[in-house]
Structure 1
């Protein structure tokens, strides 16, 4: 009995070691699939339980097996998340992650990690999103993507191609990280002083301002559209929002963002989506459940 117990303990230790080694990649897949760190962590807990209960002697490639389980669980969650978000109060934005604390998350093709791009991925079906993430963010071969999604290799290629075309058609020309940070800094100066003309100069004509608060007080329940309307609103709101705010710069999903205290216990995270034409999207994340990594209160 003692020998058998030692064998089981050793086998579980090996299983844990394999899982821990692969965990960053598995989290990266689940997070890019869902835009939620909390939901990604829940999936990883389920993957670990299944890995423990699997006859691992039959698994020739643990990395492939764990990626398969993670992706299939993420597809299921993504399908149910769509209906759950219909009851979300106000605009929904992806949950930000602190990539300065976890640089491995964005190590592989990090453009598929940016908040604006995660929001764009919401336009895809869960299966299209899985195919795209596996191929474009993690460079999985098409036969393995086909196995994970339970489709033919030809269909896997078609899913990735269709997703790529839809995203390319919708995505604006990107700017580099340096220019992104510069634009955000210039915006902060203009917003804090309520300079309408300076704000309008920064904005693209189709600029949108979205506040993700899920009904929390102080978060707008509808997006603001258009450069003139957004600039006027920010100028009117400036005297109440910015005075005394001790702004902290952070790295969110591989891009610059700022934390703005709203009172002694609450914070707002602000980042932007921009192109050479200017700022297209102001993303204000107020929901404390999404700011646990930055000092918010999780629920």
Structure 2
């Protein structure tokens, strides 16, 4: 019996929606909405199910993006993407792993809805300009211009990471060990002088409301977190296709993701908002 194309491409469709939204919960809603629309489609008239399904998901995602964009403007503090527990094999597809990293999703958040959709569909999923034009409701010529602007925007802001996943894992483990043991000197050495710390508590749990810049300012914040709770532990995990960490503070989880350049941590993203920590127990399937 032939598998339904929607079922066959479900991991891909979730990944498309997640990359555009940065939220697993919102992406799941979009996939469910898209399934209902697919159920009403005359399959005999669909020449390319993959492209057709991506088009449905993109349209649903764009509708949702315009709504959540307004909500995020009112968000308390820094908004970070929802982290996903993933398996190490996601990192084998380097382009996919980079595109779903917390650092990249944070950059994509600075694009408008249409720019983000065009960038993701073109650069990550390699759709033609014609296919993207149908998905976003623009002409192919307009899509080309939007794609160029989006590429330039992302290139100017994306982390320039050149380390391998193995090298990153070593630095991440060193960083997590220093964090767990409260070794201030080791923390100073593993972080770059201009390191930036971004924390997301969503107004629900304590977190810095703005990014913290510079190792002299970041180290005391991290060291204090270790001291003020009775039980503090760190665990290396794979989040969004790269080595990262899970922090337990008095039994409450947080997710920590870092950017590593030249053997040192240059950016730290800590998600503490409990509403964004529902995907840390079972690996999420990502595909393209």
TM over 0.5: same fold? Answer: yes
The one of 68, 79, 84 equivalent to 1:81 is: 68
Alignment-derived partner of residue 271 in structure 2: 285
Is 1:147 aligned to residue 134 of structure 2?
Answer: yes
Deviations 1:19-71 (A, max 9, x none): 10111111111000001111010001110111112333433332222111101
Deviations 1:157-183 (A, max 9, x none): 222221111111112320321222222
The one of 256, 262, 284 equivalent to 1:270 is: 256
Q: How does 1:16-35 map to 2 (within 5 A)?
A: 17-35=4-22
- In the TM superposition, residue 233 of structure 1 has moved relative to its aligned partner by 2.3
Alignment-derived partner of residue 192 in structure 1: 180
Contact 2:76/2:202 (<8 A) preserved: yes
- In the TM superposition, residue 193 of structure 1 has moved relative to its aligned partner by 4.1
Distance in structure 2 (CA, Å) of the matches to 1:165 and 1:22: 30
Contact 2:199/2:211 (<8 A) preserved: yes
CA distance 1:105–1:65, shift in 2 (3 Å)? farther
Alignment-derived partner of residue 286 in structure 2: none
Deviations 1:117-145 (A, max 9, x none): 01011111111111111111111122211
Contact 2:103/2:158 (<8 A) preserved: no
Alignment-derived partner of residue 67 in structure 1: 54
Distance in structure 1 (CA, Å) of the matches to 2:261 and 2:143: 31
Question: SS of the counterpart of 1:272?
Answer: strand
Distance in structure 1 (CA, Å) of the matches to 2:185 and 2:236: 25
Alignment-derived partner of residue 214 in structure 1: 202
Instruction: List runs of 5+ in structure 1 lacking aligned partners.
Output: 1-12
Q: How does 1:129-168 map to 2 (within 5 A)?
A: 129-168=116-155
Q: How many residues align?
A: 281
Please give the root-mean-square deviation of Cα atoms over the aligned residues, in Å: 2.5
- Structure showing greater radius of gyration is 1
Indicate the larger mover: 275-284 or 156-165: 275-284
Alignment-derived partner of residue 183 in structure 1: 171
Contact 1:106/1:113 (<8 A) preserved: no
Question: SS of the counterpart of 1:293?
Answer: coil
Contact 2:97/2:242 (<8 A) preserved: no
Contact 1:28/1:105 (<8 A) preserved: no
Distance in structure 2 (CA, Å) of the matches to 1:101 and 1:178: 11
Alignment-derived partner of residue 192 in structure 2: 204
Question: SS of the counterpart of 2:254?
Answer: strand
Distance in structure 2 (CA, Å) of the matches to 1:282 and 1:57: 49
CA distance 1:26–1:38, shift in 2 (3 Å)? same
Normalised by the length of structure 1, the TM-score is: 0.85
Question: SS of the counterpart of 1:109?
Answer: helix
Normalised by the length of structure 2, the TM-score is: 0.88
- In the TM superposition, residue 244 of structure 1 has moved relative to its aligned partner by 4.1
Is 1:53 aligned to residue 33 of structure 2?
Answer: no
CA distance 1:289–1:149, shift in 2 (3 Å)? same
- In the TM superposition, residue 230 of structure 1 has moved relative to its aligned partner by 0.7
Is 1:97 aligned to residue 84 of structure 2?
Answer: yes
